[in-house]
Amino acid sequence: SSEVLEAIENVIQGVLQSLAQNKAPVLTVANRRDWRNIEFKDSVGLQMIPGSTTKQIRSDCPQSARRFALTLKILSVIYKMVQSNTYATKRDIYYSDTLLFGSQSVVDQIINDISCMLKIPRRSLHVLSTTKGFVAGNLSYTEEDGTKVNCTCSATAVTVPSNVQGIKNLTSHAKFILIVEKDATFQRLLDDDFFNKVSPCIMITGRGIPDLNTRLLVRKLWDSFQIPVFTLMDADPHGVEIMCVYKYGSVSMSFEAHHLTVPSVKWLGLLPSDLERLNICKDALIPFTKQDENKLASIQKRPYIACQPLWKKELEIMAASKLKAEIQVLTSLSSDYLSRVYLPNKLQFGGWL
């Protein structure tokens, strides 16, 4: 905590020095969303390069003066929380003054900018994210406050903990981790008792694009157990994008890649080639929108696709057909096809990429 306080004090000292010299104070933040600041490493995923380009948040410029003021405001909130050893969610910070901040996304972006600027993980800033992910299966652990959590015996999923770094005593006999894109599919597998029937496993869903805590938990489980990590996504550009976030990380959070990415993630399904192999009726597939085409084209250009020839091939199949499918399309074969046939076969015969 003293490191965090010192880092904030250094920023404020810079502001005061500028004022003392009659200069307009400026905050310098790395350009988090610029691909030119990102390098791709197989072992880490997308990470920010040391000498990345920066942008200035100026106090004397109408376009950025408000951003400057809000950044100082949130820095002061963080400083007080670290000093008093209290925590708040991003939502709490937004609701402390909704008129001032204007929207939740403004608060979220500024907190990520601060984390990147100070080179300190968000958790150490005493800012919690609201968790939306779920975990179920062969896993038990102790939370930071001593609460024992057992995911194995519950027929319902457990919410991903809000302080993943604080959990300890993780035990599991799981043979693999299965990341499921959607809540509905996750619930279906839970109802079918999938994680007990095939072989013991841990199932996780980020319910769409995963939040920070879900990504941290996947990484922690992989570090702890070193077991295979598979993904089950829709066969569409959005599903591929989500899988890439787990495996390679995201551009905007590349400064924290070392804690968040799991480069060993494998694509289990739903593969575009599966649709033909399983003779899925064309009527059950959904035509691409213009947005889908653009998203797929942008994914195909990313540096990590070049080193994944099998993924590349699947994306080419998708691009050629201009059709996408949700995992639920498998129910057109039979209601429990996913848990009874599709996943067991894939896992038994190595049907992943």
pLDDT at 227 over 90: yes
Q: Which of 95, 153, 115, 104 is nearest to 30 (CA)?
A: 115
Residue 160 carries which DSSP code?
P
Question: Which of 140-145's residues contact partners 24+ apart within 8 Å by CB, and which partners?
Answer: 140/169, 140/170, 140/171, 140/172, 141/167, 141/168, 141/169, 141/170, 141/171, 142/167, 142/168, 142/169, 143/167
pLDDT value for 231: 95
Residue 284 carries which DSSP code?
G
Specify the pTM.
Answer: 0.81
Look up the CATH number of domain 134-349: 3.40.1360.10
Averaged pLDDT, 176-192: 90
Domain ranges for the chain: 2-128, 134-349
pLDDT at 249 over 90: no
Q: Which of 95, 246, 248, 304 is catalytic?
A: 95
Band (155; pLDDT cuts 50, 70, 90): low
pLDDT value for 240: 92
pLDDT value for 206: 92
pLDDT at 115 over 80: yes
Specify the fold of 2-128.
Arc Repressor Mutant, subunit A (1.10.10)
pLDDT at 277 over 80: yes
Q: Note if 141 is an active site residue.
A: no
Query: Measured between alpha carbons, how far is 184 from 331 in angstroms, rounded to an integer?
Result: 13
Residue range 326-348, pLDDT digits in tens: 998 888 888 888 888 899 988 88
